[in-house]
Structure 1
């Protein structure tokens, strides 16, 4: 996949959208459908700008997104995940390669675990009786931003990968 200036502009837009998703989830424990839809609808422009072929490239991206939706919708049905989180992960699956999506899920899980520990400690310290709600969009956004920084920045700007 070759990267052009348009590709980097679209990735910057995705990074901004991920920050908005995280902030929205912190503030209201929701991720707007419009934001998820915008992320998903911008993916074909990224495919075009980065020279992704229709077959098998786009087909694989769509397949991974469909599989992600099926798995995470199942978790939503079991009340283990929020609907906005399912839609955000599905939209992100349209952007990154399957290997990078697995990396995103791993980083997301680690960040989500750390976030859960911090939120649980804060919840206990404040002696709150209500159910703990984790803004998991923060962990998803962190995983997405991590993958973008590690895998999609140009080599000259990618100081994280060099370390």
Structure 2
């Protein structure tokens, strides 16, 4: 419907993902308000992108629920923080399934590199406790990567 509004909302999403990085890096917490804003801004994005209620928006909601449920299991076993799970669910509201899969792969690779860096830094510093990884950085990295493709590869 409105390419300008759609682009603006995607840029706003990118800014919110950067804010998630900052908060997660500083405090290891992604504020609920940021996750709620990302989730709620998907609604005007759907309208601006011209998505139909059925099946497009229903599919987005279904994907988000599935992603949230899968990563809630990771939270239940202590492998991921609650803010990370909420961020993944909120971000899934924005991405078509192909982009969502790409984002999850990129996030996983970035998360592995991030975790390795924290483990190595902890060992060098002589720490023996399990490091608390700001996984929101990896999630935001994957999200920003996928968002950037829309603008960088528009001629391909």
Q: TM-score, normalised by structure 2?
A: 0.95
Q: Distance in 1 between matches of 2:99 and 2:88?
A: 13
| Corresponding residue SS for 1:21 | helix
Asked if 1:69 is matched to 2:68, the reply is: yes
RMSD, matched Cα: 1.5
* Unmatched tracts of structure 2, length 5 or more: none
Partner of 1:25: 24
Deviation at 1:88, TM superposition (A): 0.1
Asked if 1:137 is matched to 2:143, the reply is: no
Asked if 2 retains the 8 angstrom alpha-carbon contact of 1:149 and 1:160, the reply is no
* Unmatched tracts of structure 1, length 5 or more: none
Q: Distance in 2 between matches of 1:44 and 1:117?
A: 37
Partner of 2:55: 56
Asked if 1:37 is matched to 2:36, the reply is: yes
| Corresponding residue SS for 1:79 | coil
Asked if 1:105 is matched to 2:104, the reply is: yes
Asked if 2 retains the 8 angstrom alpha-carbon contact of 1:111 and 1:142, the reply is yes
Change beyond 3 A, Cα 1:161–1:112:
farther
Deviation at 1:128, TM superposition (A): 1.6
Q: Larger deviation: 62-71 or 126-135?
A: 126-135
Deviation at 1:117, TM superposition (A): 1.1
Detail structure 1 runs of 4+ shifted over 4 Å in the superposition.
Answer: 159-162
Partner of 2:86: 87
Deviation at 1:161, TM superposition (A): 8.2
Q: Distance in 2 between matches of 1:28 and 1:66?
A: 27
Change beyond 3 A, Cα 1:160–1:6:
closer
Q: Distance in 1 between matches of 2:59 and 2:154?
A: 28
